[in-house]
Homo-oligomer: A and B are copies of this chain.
Amino acid sequence: MEGDSSLLEEATAGPKLEVGEEGGDLENNTLHQPLLKRNRALSSNPLALVGAKVSHIESLDYEINENELFKHDWRSRSKFQVLQYIFFKWTLALLVGLLTGLIATFINLAVENIAGYKILAVVRFIENKRYLTGLAYFTGANILLTLFAAVLCVCFAPTAAGPGIPEVKAYLNGVDTPNMFGVTTLIVKIFGSIGAVSAGLDLGKEGPLVHIGCCIASLLAQGGPDDYRLKWRWLRHFNNDRDRRDIITCGASSGVCAAFRSPVGGVLFALEEVATWWRSALLWRTFFSTAVVVVILRAFIEICNSGKCGLFGKGGLIMFDVSDVVVTYHVMDAIPITIVGILGGILGSLYNYLLHKVLVVYNLINQKGRIHKLLLALTVSVFTSVCLYGLPFLAKCQPCHPSAREICPTNTGSGNFKQFNCPDGHYNDLATLLFTTNDDAVRNIFSSNTPEEFQTASLLIFFVLYCILGLVTFGIAVPSGLFLPIILMGSAYGRLLGIAMRSYTKIDQGLYAVLGAASLMAGSMRMTVSLCVIFLELTNNLLLLPITMIVLLVSKTVGDSFNPSIYEIILDLKGLPFLDANPEPWMRNLTVGELADAKPPVVTLCGVEKVSRIVEVLKNTTHNAFPVVDERVVPPMGLATGSTELHGLILRAHLAQVLKKKWFLTEKRRTEDWEVREKFDWVELAERDGTMEEVAVTRDEMEMYVDLHPLTNTTPYTVMESMSVAKAMVLFRQVGLRHMLIVPRYHEAGVPPVAGILTRQDLRARNILLAFPHLEKIQEQRKEALDISSQFSK
């Protein structure tokens, strides 16, 4: 009898791959291709680029599973348990804010100190005119730091590379990318960020902070890392997709808040850019998290201002205060403001376009293996270092202006007038921008009341350099945020425009830099309200609000007329099955019945099913849920009619639990509620990731039966086969489903009560078009008009 258990081990390999989080990365599979192949029509085998590898991904399920066990659990929950649950929810929000704030401070401290000591050491070489030694030291230090970050990313957590925001966005849309929120990812992200930012690479810690916030939230909600989870019962109340979604939203806003010290902006960022589902309750809880972050940051700023944080002074915690500028503007200023907006839109969409191309090429290089990844990162690092160190020598030394408010020249710390290679009493304006941390560079270029500080040539060099760096740096295998590169680029052309407009406008050049940065962000990331509030809180100047709004509106409109936002481009590049808010118009002409016909027939189970059939189904399919059908019995006499009716939907994970617990019946009968409750705990059923390795079913057991009724969700959402795909998709997305059953318009004997199951992949426009090419023709005809329509309605 033992011999037969190998059958099942084979059988369980499938589910493990799908269910387990650790089975995700397929390093050695045959799918080595730059972009994912797109020739699967209505596939149920979802693959996506996660980190740099092609992985299986899973959908999340926000539906209320109404089976007997869960219902009983709800009924038996005491008042105390409800209170405990609420209390715990708020405690989690508090902890997420607290930890995100602490980690953000730690990253800031580390970056400021590492980069600070590095620059100080190089300055000493420069003071002694040992320029080449300085270059060697600078480049060497940067290579080491980059190597540290890249090795961490490449060897331990490939998913920690990049900003992580697209994956967070996908998660909140209902796409669970494996290994995205684990403890390794978190640690690598933290230390990788420190290394990469200290190395002076053209990337920010803002995107990674969002990812870090989400990792913390996810880990807290599941009670620790995968293998060492706390098994407290009350903690498990959170082990469902809906509660995790909420807490991860809190994490995302905390991350933005920690990055920009912008609590309201953080909440709005999560709302506008990241979250797919939203409700008032969430607004309130995310707000609480971000408030905690701000309190933590403020406390550390107070401590650090008293000089207890090493080199970390007023700098570090990114905050580009321009509040001391008296903003005066008139109707005529609308013209330069509109120009900034238009330029931002054009440059932003151009950046999106070029970055897309670069990422495709980088993907090809990264595919070749770990060494290639490391070499790519190091090449970029060397190039960056040489440019940052070498270019300032091209700039002409400027004499210090006697009226300057800040010390001039300085060589230590984060001053606005760097001496670099210049004689005393002079400063090097390009070194002020390049030979410093990115945060300081932004602060310097935003500096107001300094109209004569930067030469046009220096700003031009700065702009061109950061355009190149912004394109080549993002795709390398280190944690990298997009916010800061875009701010740097944008502020450069903003300030340049300010110089060009000098004679026409009274607006300060520092403000032009701010507006330039805002416009490029709107042109590339296409956010509006959240960006506006972030800039408001960042620059601490409310009078800027109206002109910021105009700039953002103009540049988003211009950008939208060229291409989608950078996050959408990355989502698409990675093949994450993100479900858009609006159905395509041609979806109205297709019914879900036609969609179901294009798919393989549904695999259904009986209410009381043979064990062998369950094993076979688990082995041969990769579906995550199966409709359970019953023989129809006419109630008064209990006569079987020979036809079937739908009982509900059972999840693969629950079937696995049944096999694991060996809850088998010797005869074919319905069970009582208490029998199930004795055997199963709803807490176990709420777990998504039940590994199945230790399951072995004997040949005798194969002939036994299982009563699936109590484990079946009796109220799955259904649509009739005549429903249009457009409306089915609205339902699917609005309610947050994973499976949607298609029922026939008319049931009769011989016709199965379920015509099909729709999943996320089936409702994606691209997949449908592959299965129904004639629709593409319609689409082509109307493409132009629709393009415009979809862009404007965004």
Interface residues of A (CB under 8 A from B): 63-64, 66, 71, 74, 78-79, 82-83, 85-86, 89-90, 263-264, 267-268, 271-272, 278-281, 283-284, 287-288, 291, 294-295, 298-299, 323, 331, 528-529, 532-533, 536-537, 540, 542, 545-546, 549-550, 553, 556, 581, 585, 588-589, 591, 632, 643, 645-646, 714-715, 717-720, 722-724, 726-727, 730-731, 734-735, 743, 745-748, 753, 782, 784-786, 788-789, 792-794
Query: Which B residues are in CB contact (< 8 Å) with A267?
Result: 529
Report the nearest B residue to A267, measured CB to CB. Answer: B529
Question: Which single member of B74, B90, B288, B715 contacts A727 (CB below 8 Å)?
Answer: B715
The reply to whether B86 and A792 form a contact with Cβ atoms under 8 Å apart is yes
Given contacts A278-B278, A715-B723, contact A549 B79 (CB under 8 A): no
The reply to whether A546 and B295 form a contact with Cβ atoms under 8 Å apart is yes
Query: Which B residues are in CB contact (< 8 Å) with A71?
Result: 588-589
Query: Which B residues are in CB contact (< 8 Å) with A536?
Result: 264, 542
Given contacts A66-B724, A272-B283, A723-B715, contact A291 B731 (CB under 8 A): no
What is the CB-to-nearest-CB distance from A180 to chain B, in angstroms, rounded to a whole number?
23
Query: Which B residues are in CB contact (< 8 Å) with A735?
Result: 730-731, 734-735
The reply to whether B546 and A727 form a contact with Cβ atoms under 8 Å apart is no
Copies, count = 2
Report the nearest B residue to A783, measured CB to CB. Answer: B79
Question: Can you list 24 A-B contacts with CB-CB less than 8 angstroms, sorted by A residue number?
Answer: A66-B724, A66-B727, A71-B589, A74-B588, A78-B785, A79-B782, A89-B792, A90-B792, A263-B549, A264-B533, A284-B528, A284-B529, A284-B556, A291-B549, A295-B546, A299-B331, A533-B533, A537-B542, A537-B545, A646-B720, A717-B719, A717-B727, A747-B748, A748-B748
What is the CB-to-nearest-CB distance from A34 to chain B, in angstroms, rounded to a whole number?
30
Known: A268-B268, A591-B715, A718-B720. 9 other contacts (CB 8 A): A71-B589, A79-B788, A284-B528, A323-B542, A540-B542, A714-B722, A720-B743, A731-B735, A745-B753
The reply to whether B745 and A645 form a contact with Cβ atoms under 8 Å apart is yes
Report the 5 A-B pairs with minimum CB-CB distance, sorted nearest first: A79-B785, A734-B734, A291-B549, A86-B792, A82-B785
Query: Which B residues are in CB contact (< 8 Å) with A271?
Result: 271, 283
The reply to whether A283 and B86 form a contact with Cβ atoms under 8 Å apart is no
Query: Which B residues are in CB contact (< 8 Å) with A295?
Result: 546
Query: Which B residues are in CB contact (< 8 Å) with A79?
Result: 782, 784-785, 788
Query: Which B residues are in CB contact (< 8 Å) with A734?
Result: 734-735
Query: Which B residues are in CB contact (< 8 Å) with A589?
Result: 71
Query: Which B residues are in CB contact (< 8 Å) with A723?
Result: 715, 717
What is the CB-to-nearest-CB distance from A588 to chain B, in angstroms, rounded to a whole number?
6
The reply to whether B718 and A645 form a contact with Cβ atoms under 8 Å apart is no
Q: Interface centre among A71, A264, A268, by most B CB within 10 Å?
A: A264
Query: Which B residues are in CB contact (< 8 Å) with A74?
Result: 585, 588
Question: Which single member of B90, B299, B715, B785 contacts A83 (CB below 8 Å)?
Answer: B785
Q: Interface centre among A331, A537, A792, by most B CB within 10 Å?
A: A792
The reply to whether B585 and A86 form a contact with Cβ atoms under 8 Å apart is no
The reply to whether B581 and A279 form a contact with Cβ atoms under 8 Å apart is yes
The reply to whether A788 and B83 form a contact with Cβ atoms under 8 Å apart is yes
Question: Which single member of B268, B646, B784 contacts A745 (CB below 8 Å)?
Answer: B646
Report the nearest B residue to A285, measured CB to CB. Answer: B793
Q: Interface centre among A64, A278, A793, by most B CB within 10 Å?
A: A793
Query: Which B residues are in CB contact (< 8 Å) with A537?
Result: 542, 545
Given contacts A291-B550, A745-B646, contact A264 B724 (CB under 8 A): no
Query: Which B residues are in CB contact (< 8 Å) with A545?
Result: 263-264, 294, 537
CA distance A735 to B735 in the complex (A): 8
What is the CB-to-nearest-CB distance from A625 to chain B, in angstroms, rounded to a whole number?
16
The reply to whether A793 and B294 form a contact with Cβ atoms under 8 Å apart is no
The reply to whether B746 and A788 form a contact with Cβ atoms under 8 Å apart is no
What is the CB-to-nearest-CB distance from A756 to chain B, in angstroms, rounded to a whole number?
16
What is the CB-to-nearest-CB distance from A516 to chain B, in angstroms, rounded to a whole number?
19
Query: Which B residues are in CB contact (< 8 Å) with A78?
Result: 785
Question: Which single member of B331, B528, B632, B719 contacts A746 (CB below 8 Å)?
Answer: B632
Given contacts A264-B529, A287-B529, A585-B74, contact A280 B794 (CB under 8 A): yes
The reply to whether A588 and B546 form a contact with Cβ atoms under 8 Å apart is no
Report the nearest B residue to A648, measured CB to CB. Answer: B722
Query: Which B residues are in CB contact (< 8 Å) with A83?
Result: 785, 788-789
The reply to whether A553 and B86 form a contact with Cβ atoms under 8 Å apart is no
The reply to whether A280 and B291 form a contact with Cβ atoms under 8 Å apart is no
CA distance A746 to B751 in the complex (A): 11
What is the CB-to-nearest-CB distance from A237 to chain B, in angstroms, rounded to a whole number?
12
Query: Which B residues are in CB contact (< 8 Å) with A63?
Result: 727
What is the CB-to-nearest-CB distance from A716 to chain B, in angstroms, rounded to a whole number?
9
Question: Which single member of B66, B529, B731, B748 contacts A283 (CB below 8 Å)?
Answer: B529
The reply to whether B715 and A718 form a contact with Cβ atoms under 8 Å apart is no
The reply to whether A294 and B549 form a contact with Cβ atoms under 8 Å apart is yes
CA distance A540 to B327 in the complex (A): 14
CA distance A283 to B283 in the complex (A): 15
The reply to whether A546 and B291 form a contact with Cβ atoms under 8 Å apart is yes
Report the nearest B residue to A749, measured CB to CB. Answer: B748
CA distance A283 to B530 in the complex (A): 10
The reply to whether B284 and A588 form a contact with Cβ atoms under 8 Å apart is no
Report the nearest B residue to A726, measured CB to CB. Answer: B64
Report the nearest B residue to A82, measured CB to CB. Answer: B785
The reply to whether B532 and A264 form a contact with Cβ atoms under 8 Å apart is yes
The reply to whether B720 and A719 form a contact with Cβ atoms under 8 Å apart is no
Question: Which single member of B291, B553, B727 contacts A287 (CB below 8 Å)?
Answer: B553
What is the CB-to-nearest-CB distance from A691 to chain B, in angstroms, rounded to a whole number?
30
What is the CB-to-nearest-CB distance from A528 to chain B, in angstroms, rounded to a whole number?
5
CA distance A271 to B291 in the complex (A): 20
Query: Which B residues are in CB contact (< 8 Å) with A746?
Result: 632, 643, 645, 747, 753
The reply to whether A66 and B718 form a contact with Cβ atoms under 8 Å apart is no
Query: Which B residues are in CB contact (< 8 Å) with A581?
Result: 279-281
What is the CB-to-nearest-CB distance from A73 to chain B, in angstroms, rounded to a whole number?
11
CA distance A645 to B793 in the complex (A): 38
What is the CB-to-nearest-CB distance from A252 to chain B, in angstroms, rounded to a whole number?
15
CA distance A287 to B549 in the complex (A): 8
Given contacts A280-B581, A546-B295, contact A287 B528 (CB under 8 A): yes
CA distance A658 to B133 in the complex (A): 90
Q: Interface centre among A85, A283, A556, by most B CB within 10 Å?
A: A283
CA distance A540 to B646 in the complex (A): 61
CA distance A717 to B728 in the complex (A): 9
Query: Which B residues are in CB contact (< 8 Å) with A724?
Result: 66, 715
Query: Which B residues are in CB contact (< 8 Å) with A643?
Result: 746
